[in-house]
Amino acid sequence: MHKYYIFYKPYLTISQFSPEGEKVTLAQHLPGLAKDVYPVGRLDHDSEGLLLLTDDKALTNQLLNPSFAHKRTYYAQVEGAITPEAIARLQNGVTISIDGKQYLTKKAGAVLLPQEPTLPERNPPIRFRKNIPTSWVAITLTEGKNRQVRRMTAAVGFPTLRLVRYSIGAVTIDGLEPGTHRLYNDEVKRLLLD
């Protein structure tokens, strides 16, 4: 029987168990996991949200293989009042730089959220600047280039201030706090690949 953990990765935690300098690792949040349980993909040190950990190698391959194009939704708080034109560009694909090469992102879901999503406070919070508004955008990708959401929002002129992966397929972080997890059975595979 495989194990599936949905973990809310906190800000400034790295997506690995092995130490790296003074950085907080998954081992500090999830002590005692079986040695064959690994994170599927990663979230950057300065990103938060849903991280799947499992010992199911077939599922890991399916989620990481670009040909399966599974959906992942991120909530991005961006600097400035984002425009409909910028949202349209995010939806249609923007050119970003990956390893020094120009890359046109695939079409993505991108919508302006009418209000700030209900998320736990970030610690430390983003720096508040009274004269600069922020916007929240939900971006759904079917690909996963390095720091892709941040590169995309910067490319349309609205840099990301806070980034939270909200869901993979139909599995969300609803009900979780940063640093907590939920254990699932095999049934989660259907939800992840939804």
Q: Which residues are catalytic?
A: 44
Amino acid present at 7: F
Task: Extract the tokens encoding 13.
Answer: 């935690």
Closest CA to 87 of 108, 71, 111: 111
Cβ atoms of residues 191 and 169 within 8 Å? yes
**How far is residue 104 from each of residues 47, 91, 93, 94, 136, measured CA to CA in Å?**
23, 12, 6, 5, 23
Cβ atoms of residues 59 and 184 within 8 Å? no
Rounded Cα–Cα distance for residues 61 and 58 (Å): 5
Beta bridge partners of 102: 97
